[in-house]
């Protein structure tokens, strides 16, 4: 039974932070292992095959972003990066390299657990359907019919512009994952011109007006200030606002 539980690999060289996270995971009954540097982390990933990785970006022997690039060569395992405030640029580089989410030090225990829960939900979604094979995407009251190119909210068809539709599909295909401004503009406009980030904000606002009941309290698309956006996964039984 115990082995059906997802295994979390915690990579952190700072003993105090490592102990805090370890205690938190232990108290919540999560299965986890620890590594104190990049070398140990890569060995643990190949030998123990963890389900999720919590990765500190400032490691003594290796750049955290390099570790992500290496792992993404063979695995889509969700990675949550942990960075200090001074490493903001690294955090964005880590997301662009394929990390799923991030925590900025100092973080609260609640924040850590919320990120782990979101990532576990993403993991079970990745394992159940696989976003690539799905022809219909359903998330709470939102439904995208990829084949027909139609979007529905509570059964009512929405009229999206081509860019709004592209944006929504991109977020849906990466549900649960934080997408950076650079990644989104590259995917939607095929460029990373600086003004695109401003356009992105405008399109995001019009998209939210259509899909969110209360655009000031978005339920589907979360803003990560200075970083990007994420679509949250809503299970059928989950009540609004519990995340």
Q: Tell me, by CB under 5 A, how many residues bind Ca ion.
A: 4
Helix (H) or strand (E) holding 196, with range, is helix 194-211
Q: Does 187 bind Ca ion (CB under 5 A)?
A: no
Should residue 56 be labelled a site residue for Ca ion when binding is judged by CB under 5 A? yes
Site for Ca ion contains 134 (CB under 5 A): no
To the nearest whole angstrom, how small is the minimum distance from the Cβ of residue 58 to Ca ion? 4
Stretch of residues binding Ca ion (CB under 5 A), selected from 11-19, 22-30, 175-183, 184-192: 11-19
Nearer to Ca ion, 29 or 86 (CB): 86
The smaller minimum CB distance to Ca ion, of residues 42 and 153, is found at 42
CA distance 82 to 5: 23
Pairing of strands 7-11, 52-56: parallel
Question: Does residue 90 belong to the site contacting Ca ion (CB under 5 A)?
Answer: no
Q: Which is nearer to Ca ion, 13 or 187 (CB)?
A: 13
Closer residue to Ca ion, CB minimum distance, 17 or 170: 17
Task: Work out the angle at residue 4's Cα, subtended by the Cα atoms of residues 112 and 37, and round it to the nearest 5 degrees.
Answer: 50
Distance CA 30, CA 167 (A): 34
Query: Which uninterrupted H or E stretch holds 56?
Result: strand 52-56
Write down the least CB distance from residue 26 to Ca ion, Å: 21
87 is a site residue for Ca ion (CB under 5 A): no
Q: Does 93 engage in binding with Ca ion (CB under 5 A)?
A: no
Q: Which of these segments, 10-18, 150-158, 182-190, 195-203, binds Ca ion (CB under 5 A)?
A: 10-18
Among 7, 31, 37, 58, binds Ca ion (CB under 5 A): 58
- Spell out the long-range contacts of 75-78 with Cβ–Cβ below 8 A and sequence spacing 24 or more: 75/45, 76/126, 77/45, 77/50, 77/51, 77/52, 77/53, 78/51, 78/52, 78/53, 78/119, 78/122, 78/123, 78/126, 78/177
Mapped onto helix, strand or coil, the DSSP state of residue 209 is helix
13 contributes a contact to Ca ion by CB under 5 A: yes
What letter does residue 97 receive in the DSSP assignment? T
Kindly list the residues in this chain that would bind Ca ion in the complex (CB under 5 A): 13-14, 56, 58
């Amino acid at each position: 039974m115990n082995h059906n539980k997802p295994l979390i690999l915690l990579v952190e060289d700072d003993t105090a932070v490592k102990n805090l996270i370890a205690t938190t995971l232990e108290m919540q009954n999560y299965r986890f292992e620890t590594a104190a540097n990049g070398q140990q982390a890569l060995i643990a990933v190949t030998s123990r095959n963890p389900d999720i990785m919590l990765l500190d970006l400032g490691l003594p022997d290796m750049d955290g972003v390099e570790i992500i690039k290496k792992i993404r060569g063979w695995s889509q395992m969700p990675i949550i990066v942990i960075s200090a405030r001074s490493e903001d640029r690294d955090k964005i580089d880590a997301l662009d390299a394929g990390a799923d989410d991030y925590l900025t030090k100092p973080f609260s225990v609640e924040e850590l657990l919320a990120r782990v829960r979101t990532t576990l939900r993403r993991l079970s979604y990745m394992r159940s359907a696989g976003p690539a094979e799905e022809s219909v995407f359903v998330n709470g009251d939102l439904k995208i019919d990829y084949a027909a190119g139609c979007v529905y909210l509570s059964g009512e068809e929405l009229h999206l512009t081509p860019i709004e539709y592209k944006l929504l599909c991109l977020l849906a295909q990466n549900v649960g994952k934080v997408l950076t401004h650079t990644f989104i503009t590259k995917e939607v406009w095929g460029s990373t011109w600086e003004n695109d980030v401003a356009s992105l904000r405008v399109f995001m606002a019009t998209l939210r007006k259509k899909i969110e009941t209360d655009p000031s309290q978005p339920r589907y698309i979360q803003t990560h200030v200075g970083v990007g956006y994420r679509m949250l996964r809503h299970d059928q039984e989950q009540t609004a606002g519990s995340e």
